[in-house]
Amino acid sequence: MALLWREGVQETVRKDKQSVTHLPSQPSSLSTLVPHRSFNGTIVPDNLSWLEKQWVAVYDGRNEILVTGMLAFVMHEVVYFGRFIPFLICDFIPFFQKWKLQPFIPHHEHFRLSQRPAILYLSLKNKVNTGADYWRCFVCVLYNHIFFVLPLILFFHPMGHLFGMKITEVPFPSW
């Protein structure tokens, strides 16, 4: 690869003689995109939105399957664990304890207590979750996400292309 500078624009010439033009490094000129060939060989128009420019920059020169998989996995984890934060806060506020739904049942007492619903109800209402309970739950869920959900997310990109999805192309559809 060779780097060339032409009128303030950095151009990378690859071994296959294709050139990819990048944005200038000056912050004042980031508002315009110089038309160029993108990472997947398509011509990138100069009227892209900010999000479309970032989309091209994320994929440029990287493995599409890994980038798509990691973006989806990180977004999935942020939403999955982020949506729990309000409930975690409510769990520490005494006012909300009367609406508690999923308390802990010891395994050795589960069968014995299940025979007496009133005792089961009273024992469940008095359970207080500890930091160790939350940590154990977090580790278990994260383990499942890494070993079961992540492979499925990584498998999405090739399957999407197989069914005709254009995941990495810009501009985005108008819908």
The tens-digit pLDDT sequence of the chain (175 residues) is: 444 434 444 444 445 545 444 444 444 333 444 555 555 555 566 788 888 888 888 888 899 999 999 999 999 999 999 999 998 898 888 888 777 766 555 555 555 555 555 555 555 556 677 888 889 999 999 999 999 999 999 999 999 999 998 888 888 887 7
Do 87 and 50 fall within a single domain? no
Q: How many domains does the chain have?
A: 2
Do 74 and 147 fall within a single domain? yes
User: How would you classify the pairing of strands 9-13 and 2-6?
Assistant: antiparallel
Show the DSSP H helices in 41-168 as ranges.
50-59, 64-82, 85-91, 107-114, 117-125, 131-144, 150-162
| CA 170 distance to own-chain centroid | 20
In sequence order, the β-bridge partners of residue 36 are 44
The parent domain of residue 29 ranges over 2-62
CB 10 within 8 A of CB 22: yes
| 167: in domain | no
| 169: in domain | no
